Amino acid sequence: MQDDKKVFVDLKFFDVPETVGRTIARLSDYGATFATIHGNQALMEKAVENKNNLKILAVTALTSLDRGDLDDLGFDCDVKDLVISRAKRAFEAGCDGIVSSGLEVPYIREYVDNKLIAVTPGIRPVANDDDQKRVVDVATAFKSGSDYIVVGRPIKNAENRYEAATNIQKIIRSSFEAV
């Protein structure tokens, strides 16, 4: 692996804490930069205990979930409240950051801490018709306080992937030039 590259292992580990801890310890031996885990307390604590130089990102709530999905899963709370709660717990457990929709990142910055790395998936154009429900566009993600974005299908499904990736890079550049 080249020194100037960062490897993001976005597998959202979710298993018994000991297994997650061993997995994170092994993964850290390979030079990955970031790894995602689900935001359950015991998992976060065990991952942090075994992370070495790996940065642990706790998933707050998948961007494919909305209020109705949370009802189906038995969560009797607002999506925003769940995300803030999980971000607070991730911070307290020693995680390096969180994975969150750009819709909730401003609240994380307000109620938790600016030190947490905020990674925002579900980056979509304004019109969206896939399984992602809590989406933002590239510029909004960064204006909301995201440090990194995850862009998959808008590039993968584009007619010209190179052009799509280049256009996203231009939007990122312009988002920071305006600051």
List C-alpha distances in Å: 80 to 33, 56, 64, 101.
Answer: 28, 21, 14, 10
List the catalytic residue out of 5, 12, 46, 143: 12
Q: Can you say whether residue 14 is alpha, beta or left, with left for phi > 0 and alpha for psi between -120 and 50 degrees?
A: beta
Q: Can you say whether residue 12 is alpha, beta or left, with left for phi > 0 and alpha for psi between -120 and 50 degrees?
A: left
Dihedral angle sign, alpha carbons of residues 80, 81, 87, 90? negative
- Residue 167 burial by Cβ neighbours in a 10 Å radius (0-12, 13-18, 19+): middle
95: which residues sit within 8 A by CB, 6+ positions away?
44, 47, 48, 56, 57, 58, 116
Which uninterrupted H or E stretch holds 9?
strand 8-13
Residue with the two structure tokens 């750009």? 102
Q: Is 12 a catalytic residue?
A: yes
Q: Which residues are catalytic?
A: 12
